[in-house]
Structure 1
Amino acid sequence: MSDTALLIIDIQVGVVDGELRAARLDTVLDNLNLAIAAARRRGIPVIFVQHEEDERPHGSAAWQLHPGLARQDGDQIVYKRYGDSFCETNLAQLLSAHGASKLWIGGAATDFCVDSTLRNAVSRGYQVTVIGDGHTTVSAFALSGEQVIDHFNAAWGATSATPQPLRVKPAAEL
């Protein structure tokens, strides 16, 4: 049993390839698939997280995981209604059942669900490695999606006041 789990958060059609296309999406999908392949080689569980809300109801076309992800039967799915993947879900119990104390995290949206989940994971004592080239968001407010991704990678990479190390690594280095 591995002490690590791979979380891929909200890479859903309506999140990353809907009205707005997420920044660097093709590259992010490629890199998430690299991370999935690395996890499978090491016996690391792959867990997909799917966000449901009024404009993306459970089972709708927009709610579906992106078809570009290398999913397999046996991959686990966590359903959520809030930004933080731990909030009112079975994620903590699932990770405990796998004996996971370390997480590889990628997905969408960088500035919302990915950030919320990784901050809660760090607070819960997990050692988190963000897949630096495996998360994305759309342009919003005054920043492009690319700027948001780069900013969060820099901020997470500079964070040292955590119980366990918080790392940012490209998928090829996992």
Structure 2
Amino acid sequence: MNTLLIIDMQNAWLDNPAQPCFDTAGVVGRINHAARHIRAQGGKVIFVQHADAHARIGSAPWQVIAALEKEATDGTVDKLAGDSFAATDLAAQLAASATSTVYVCGFATEFCVDTAVRAAASRGLRVVALSDAHTTADRPHLAAPAIIAHHNWVWSGLPVPADAALTVCTTAQAFPA
């Protein structure tokens, strides 16, 4: 089974005019496209939501942004750290659904998305990083498009365990229309 992990696409991080994310509308459209394909293929969509003092579980900032299409059958994971697997039931959810390939997308490229890609691969999963379906904001030292390009490049050559695989491709390559 294929699973799509949608990392931290929440109001707290994406509805911040002081620090806008790169190509949010395009990223949201591509995530919705991927989610529709995964669901149509009988796969699982899991929304991973980060909680902290600014985005307490259940609060408005913690909620997934309204532009994302969320179905009642989609899974959720609440996390308190950058690693979606740390102190969560994500590994158990993936095992229960017999996940063979994990597609990763969301926010923030250099933090939680990067950690999810690496953590999933280190657990022996087949991982596909959707190169055009993750985003971040400009940082003091680097603009968002450069951060995104850098991580896509790193992931494309990252050594993973022998029982794992890591592929980087666009959403259209992974899920042709």
1:21 partnered with 2:20? yes
Query: How far apart are the structure 1 equivalents of 2:24 and 2:85?
Result: 25
Give the match for residue 109 of structure 1.
108
Query: How far apart are the structure 1 equivalents of 2:81 and 2:4?
Result: 19
Secondary structure of residue in 1 paired with 2:96: helix
TM-score normalised per structure 1: 0.95
Query: How far apart are the structure 2 equivalents of 1:161 and 1:32?
Result: 25
Give the match for residue 43 of structure 2.
44
Give the match for residue 133 of structure 2.
134
Give the match for residue 96 of structure 1.
95
1:45-60 aligned at under 5 Å gives the runs 45-60=44-59
Deviations 1:97-132 (A, max 9, x none): 000131000011000001111111111000100011
CA contact (8 A) 1:16 1:138 kept: no
Query: How far apart are the structure 2 equivalents of 1:116 and 1:161?
Result: 13
Deviations 1:76-102 (A, max 9, x none): 110000000000000000011000131
Give the match for residue 119 of structure 1.
118
Percent identity among equivalent residues?
36
Partner letter of residue 8 of structure 2? D
CA contact (8 A) 2:160 2:166 kept: no
Query: How much has 1:160 moved relative to structure 2?
Result: 3.9
The alignment covers a number of residue pairs equal to 172
CA contact (8 A) 1:50 1:65 kept: yes
Query: How far apart are the structure 2 equivalents of 1:101 and 1:39?
Result: 13
Q: What's the C-alpha RMSD, in Å, of the aligned pairs?
A: 1.1
Query: How far apart are the structure 1 equivalents of 2:165 and 2:151?
Result: 16
Give the match for residue 171 of structure 1.
171
Query: How far apart are the structure 2 equivalents of 1:60 and 1:140?
Result: 26
Give the match for residue 150 of structure 2.
151
CA contact (8 A) 1:24 1:146 kept: no
Query: How far apart are the structure 2 equivalents of 1:17 and 1:146?
Result: 19
CA contact (8 A) 2:135 2:148 kept: yes
CA contact (8 A) 2:122 2:160 kept: no
Query: How much has 1:153 moved relative to structure 2?
Result: 0.6
- Structure 1 gaps of 5+ residues are none
- Structure 2 gaps of 5+ residues are none
Could you list the runs of 4 or more consecutive aligned residues of structure 1 that deviate by over 4 angstroms after TM superposition? none
TM-score normalised per structure 2: 0.93
